[in-house]
Structure 1
Amino acid sequence: MADGVIREDGEREETARGLTWPFARIPEAGEAISVADGVWWLRLPLPMALNHINLYAIEDGDGWAIIDTGLFTPVSVELWEDLLAGALKGRAVTRVICTHMHPDHIGMAGWLCDRFEAPLLMSRLEYVTGRMLVADTGRPAPESGRTFYRAAGWTEEQLAGWGRDYGQFGRVVSAMPDAYHRLTEGDVLSIGGEDWEVVVGQGHSPEHVCLWRRSDDVFLGGDQILPKISSNVSVWPTEPLADPLGDWLASLDRLAELLPEDLLVLPSHGEPFRGVQARLAALKRGHGQALARLERRLETPMRAVDTFASLFARPVGDGLRGMATGEAVAHLNYLERQGRAVREADAEGVDWWRQADTLQKSNGE
């Protein structure tokens, strides 16, 4: 999971296999490091377990195309002021490209677009979903959310806490532009005279944009391919029967068919790396192991919250319960779609999951 919960699949040890790290250090605050012709690596802090986000600036004529933006916080505003005046040499921002709608990626987008009268470029599902979640800020928590988390096994105290904290998304996102330029699979953007092809992934978010410069195989991967952690793949209350893990695994297969081995991957978290085929294989293997382990343990009926020990390598605290629940339900929904698990709701509305063949045996089949 990309935000601090570590899966129990030995993935940390596997990440070093087949990967190389071209750069000896990471950018300091206010610094930009050249990572490819005309491409500069920036980094902003995040106030969470995953404590940073990588941003990228691409030379675009006399200005810069910015890829992702960081959270909208006083710290980020100050650091962006320093970057614009210093490392980015006072040049204007020509466009802001957001890989997807999570707050650490779109948080400062409106601020930058407004300051430079620059367009925002996103895929349609990411833009619309981001606008929707910002609009939820300050709303009372919906009953559908309580139903979802109660079904997953949350206590009444935990549900009350979720209700108090609901609607925080927009507090770290500056006002999003009222218009945007849509990106779709296969689009080609000309940035600084070079072609960047749009490659869309799914699972971590609905229509995640990556950018590929085929001329020298530079790949801006966002959260779609991370070097040392697996991106969070979750089911959320807005779409409780979704199968994002199926989407994620299909995207991994497609990327493995599409991308060359010597690609330079510029991720949103961690460090730039080479060895994309080894990384994609490790990500797929890790989820496969987690699914097999979970299916075995469903011989005994479980709620979603009871599966945490099967999926994660450390206890899940209050701050990560929502994402851990979302990822657990994603694995369970996937098994259900595959005919490998079934759920039964009890009188209190709690879902109990078990192996599909266990249910058949209990029915005498």
Structure 2
Amino acid sequence: MFEKLGIQKITIPLPFRLDHVHCFLVKGATGYTLIDTGLHDEQAKKIWQEKLLGKDVEKIILTHLHPDHTGYAGVLQKQTNAPVYMSEIDAKAMQTIWQEEAIPLLQRDYHTFAVPEQMTEKIIQLIRKTTNIVEPTPTVQQFLRDGETINIGDYTYDIIATPGHAEGLVCLYEPETKVLLSTDHVLPKITPNIAYWFYGEKNPLLSYKTSLEKIKKLDISYVIPSHGEPFEDVYTRIDEIWAHHEERIEKTYDAMKNGITVFDMCDILFPYELSVYDYQFAIGEAVAHMEYVRHEGRCERTIESGVYIYQSLT
């Protein structure tokens, strides 16, 4: 299928627990399209220098704003002069989320989540270091809009907005071959992180559920994800992913009986040792599940000394 679509998978190593991201180089009649770029680091630099040698890049598509997908885009844009395509939501967020002006917003939220000051400071330092792997920020010339199409290689893909993992995440669907480029929306072996972030949606887990249902309505025979190997039965995989979240939702609700903070919920949902890097995702995921329960009307959120307390309703 890769050969038919003119797609070459470019796997970029990552210095995280999730140790790789798949980017794609797609050959067309008039040039090449890049889909995602990896981080701005020496490994990505070396790989792209080799893969792009002698190639005319006509566009760069960014599926969502996370650093492993966008970090090297600014460099490649300068090198190739290719226009960058991205959703408007993520293009705007990308201009500020790694900047110093975003830190007070994170501090505000982490205080209400009862995150200890020492942990907050460690996460802030981690975010500040992120700047090194995402700059320069690319200039987005064209927005990817839900329901529109885009030419990639010699095929025309439907643009499908699938908020959840990121508010502006888009999948790309080729109806002739029934292939879905699922990016991080549906992954074969792990569940994507669905988290509340200070700049994003207030109920991201509900958005994710809606986006999964949206994908289930498509006629898909082959899925190419950004992490892990391609797979075929997307419908069963979607059911598995949502079953995981349903179990976590009920675990979240059960833990609210005596009132609980977000940070304490992290220990319930993730009962093992977490690194500082892991904690920033665990906190966001805990909030996402707690807010899902609250929007269902099954708990209330009060504030005590500036800290949110979630209490289940009977």
Q: TM-score, normalised by structure 2?
A: 0.93
Indicate if the aligned counterparts of 2:123 and 2:276 stay in contact, CA closer than 8 A.
Answer: no
Instruction: Name the structure 1 match of 2:69.
Output: 105
Indicate if the aligned counterparts of 2:5 and 2:153 stay in contact, CA closer than 8 A.
Answer: no
Letter in 1 for 2:138: P
Q: C-alpha separation between the residues in 1 aligned to 2:15 and 2:127?
A: 18
Instruction: Name the structure 2 match of 1:350.
Output: 307
Q: C-alpha separation between the residues in 2 aligned to 1:250 and 1:201?
A: 8
* Deviation of 1:214 (Å): 0.9
Instruction: Name the structure 1 match of 2:31.
Output: 63
Instruction: Name the structure 1 match of 2:56.
Output: 92
1:157 to 113, 118, 123: 118
Letter in 2 for 1:253: E
1:120 to 84, 90, 95: 84
Indicate if the aligned counterparts of 1:121 and 1:182 stay in contact, CA closer than 8 A.
Answer: yes
Q: Encode CA deviations 1:41-92: one digit per residue, 9 max, x unaligned.
A: 110000111100001111122421111100011221111112223xxxx221
Q: C-alpha separation between the residues in 2 aligned to 1:35 and 1:332?
A: 44
Pairs within 5 Å for 1:189-268: 189-238=150-199, 242-260=202-220, 263-268=221-226
Q: C-alpha separation between the residues in 2 aligned to 1:256 and 1:244?
A: 18
Instruction: Name the structure 1 match of 2:149.
Output: 188
Indicate if the aligned counterparts of 2:39 and 2:72 stay in contact, CA closer than 8 A.
Answer: yes
The higher radius of gyration belongs to: 1
Describe the SS at the equivalent of 2:8. strand
Structure 1 unaligned residues grouped into runs of 5+: 1-21, 23-33, 358-365
Indicate if the aligned counterparts of 2:263 and 2:283 stay in contact, CA closer than 8 A.
Answer: yes
| Percent of pairs with identical residues | 27
- RMSD across aligned positions (CA): 1.9
CA separation of 1:113 and 1:166: change in aligned 2, threshold 3 A = closer
Instruction: Name the structure 1 match of 2:294.
Output: 336
How many residues are matched?
Answer: 314
Q: C-alpha separation between the residues in 2 aligned to 1:202 and 1:179?
A: 19
Letter in 2 for 1:37: L
Q: C-alpha separation between the residues in 2 aligned to 1:164 and 1:231?
A: 24
Q: TM-score, normalised by structure 1?
A: 0.81
Q: C-alpha separation between the residues in 1 aligned to 2:169 and 2:313?
A: 33
Describe the SS at the equivalent of 2:95. helix
Q: C-alpha separation between the residues in 1 aligned to 2:147 and 2:226?
A: 21
Q: Encode CA deviations 1:276-331: one digit per residue, 9 max, x unaligned.
A: 00011111111111101211221122111222243236332322111100110011
CA separation of 1:265 and 1:313: change in aligned 2, threshold 3 A = farther
Describe the SS at the equivalent of 2:90. helix
Letter in 2 for 1:59: K
Q: C-alpha separation between the residues in 1 aligned to 2:270 and 2:183?
A: 23
Indicate if the aligned counterparts of 1:140 and 1:163 stay in contact, CA closer than 8 A.
Answer: no
Instruction: Name the structure 2 match of 1:38.
Output: 6
Indicate if the aligned counterparts of 2:75 and 2:136 stay in contact, CA closer than 8 A.
Answer: yes
Q: Encode CA deviations 1:238-288: one digit per residue, 9 max, x unaligned.
A: 35x81111111111111112243xx21111111111110001111111111
